[in-house]
Amino acid sequence: MFLNRITKRASTVLLSGLLGVAVSVSAVPMPTTSAMGIGDIVGIGVGVAQVAQQKEMLTKQYKYINTTEEGREMLFQEFRKNQGVNDDPELNGKLDIIMGRLSEAVAEVDPTIKNLPYKYFINMDKSLNASCAMGHVMTVNTGTFYHLANDDEIAAVVGHEMGHGQKDHVFKSLTSRFDKELLASIGVALASGSNTGALLGNIVGNLALKHSIVHADKRHEWEADGMAFEYITHTDYNPGACAAVMQRFIDLMGTQKQSTGEMLFNPSDHPNSEARRDKYVKQLGEYSGNHVTAKNGTVFVNGNAFVTPAPAAGMSAMERSYFVFGNLAAAYHNHHSSNSAYVENGTVMLGPQAIFTPTGQDESADVLAERLNSIKDLKADSGNKKNDKKDKKAK
Ligand SMILES: [Zn+2]
């Protein structure tokens, strides 16, 4: 999922969906072992056999859901039933476009998406989140459409989920727990003298249960963030949206105390969101060939301050700065920076790339275009010798 926390209601619903799968697995009759005593060693032997049997059965079930059309559709329908479907045509039209554009981008990076196109729907949850289950079954919360600033930010969230999907994180995460958790459970069962078979059944249920409560592996989150950035750079969406959306979470958390609405964010998300934003800032800087960066709301070009956007359109200065950063990064990446900056219909342009449309409190477009012209060709302030070398060669 995109955020660490899902609402209690959503997690319960998600659980029942996943448990539906798990229960059918644990319904398989299993031999029981006696309590501690003479049967200790026999018990362990039986337990290990049970683990192997359970593991094989679970893997089969998960593979069915993860890779077959029938299994995927089953999970999709189960999720729709449990989470509720928002049929709002405007929101669904929006998501269809985003999914279409992102799916094309993903296909350029990872053609396997063609074998497993995403099944997605908008659920009724009013908080900001999305999640991707096995089998490329994805759901976006209704709240996501209302809490984010624009389609670029929604694309950043959806791209993160597709990263989880393409890297098969849910399947990997579930199956990697088999050995550890199943074996540990047998140890507990034997030590406490309880019925190993029954306990194993519970553990199987818990595997699904835990996964939906405990956030996925942190490494998976970083990987999904990285994929989101890569995918978005294969679209026309602003690549700065990834950093911007993390900033938006941070800003929303700051105002949460004053909000009488639903509590969206867990305070423990705070440092995590900042670390994720900073990673995106770093990636975006590299994408620009280290010509552009942003810090505390100011965008820098070749080490020189270009603009500090004022807060506007419900966005903080920082959130807005990442969109300017994203446009400039795209301009440098796509070699538009040799063009002169100019103003068109109130927007600062660099070649065909729109950079910034000042409003209200911002400096004027003419002043900004002039400033950009004075700094855009200076030596990159990166300390990245590789890139400097490349630039020289290109000249
Ligand atoms: Zn995630």
**What's the pLDDT tens digit per position in 330-379?**
999 999 999 999 999 999 999 999 999 999 899 999 999 999 999 999 88
> 60 — phi, psi (to 5°)?
-60, -45
Whole-model pTM: value is 0.79
Torsions phi, psi for 330 (to 5 deg): -65, -40
Taking a C-beta distance cutoff of 8 angstroms, is the pair 312, 319 a contact? no
Give the model's pLDDT for residue 4. Answer: 59
Q: How far is the CA of 215 from the centre of ligand 1 (A)?
A: 8
Which amino acid belongs to residue 97?
A: I
Query: Could you tell me where the beta strands, DSSP code E, fall in the chain?
Result: 119-123, 130-132, 137-141, 292-295, 298-301, 304-307, 341-344, 347-350, 353-356
The reported pLDDT for the residue numbered 76 is 94
pLDDT given at position 191: 61
Distance 36 CA to ligand 1 centre (A): 42
Point out the least confidently predicted range of 209-213, 214-218, 230-234: 209-213
Tokens of 343: 């103003």
Query: Distance between CA 148 and CA 244 in Å, rounded?
Result: 10
The Å distance, Cα 6 to ligand 1 centre, comes to 11
The beta strands (E) that lie in 43-149 are given as 119-123, 130-132, 137-141
pLDDT over 90 at 203, yes or no: no
Contact (CB, 8 A) for 241 and 155: yes
Tell me the two tokens of residue 124. 């009724």
Phi, psi of 289 (to 5 degrees): 70, 30
Cα of 217 to ligand 1 centre, how many Å?
A: 9
* In the predicted structure, residue 388 carries a pLDDT above the cut 70: no
CA dist 15 and 347 (Å) reads: 48
The Å distance, Cα 251 to ligand 1 centre, comes to 20
Task: Tell me how far the alpha carbon of residue 140 lies from the centroid of ligand 1, in angstroms.
Answer: 12
Instruction: Say how far apart CA 275 and CA 290 lie, in whole Å.
Output: 20
- Alpha-carbon Rg of the chain, whole angstroms? 25
77 alpha carbon, distance to own chain's centre:
23
Paired tokens of 66: 């993860």
- The per-residue pLDDT for 322 is 98
| pLDDT tier at 67, thresholds 50, 70, 90 | very high
Residue 291 has pLDDT above 70, yes or no: yes
Do residues 63 and 88 lie in contact, with contact meaning Cβ atoms separated by under 8 Å? no
When the pLDDT of each residue in the chain is averaged and rounded to a whole number, the result is 80
Q: Could you tell me the distance, in angstroms and rounded to a whole number, from the CA of residue 133 to the centre of ligand 1? A: 11
245 Cβ contact partners less than 8 Å away, ≥ 6 residues apart: 148, 153, 156, 157
- Classify residue 7 by burial, with Cβ atoms within 10 Å: 0-12, 13-18, 19+: middle
Rounded to whole angstroms, how far apart are CA atoms 328 and 354?
A: 8
Residue 395 carries which DSSP code?
-
Q: What is the rounded distance in angstroms from the CA atom of residue 104 to the CA atom of residue 173?
A: 27
- State how far the Cα of 188 lies from the Cα of 204, in Å rounded to an integer: 15
* CB contact at 8 A, 284 and 332: no
Q: Which percentage of the chain shows pLDDT scores above 90? A: 58
CA 383 / ligand 1 centre spacing (Å): 32
Compute the distance from residue 212 Cα to the ligand 1 centre, in Å. 12
Taking CA atoms, 235 is separated from 156, 163, 344, 361, in Å, by 11, 15, 23, 31
Distance 218 CA to ligand 1 centre (A): 8
Is 241 exposed, middle or buried, given 0-12, 13-18 or 19+ CB atoms closer than 10 A? Answer: buried
- Distance of CA 196 from the midpoint of ligand 1 (Å): 34
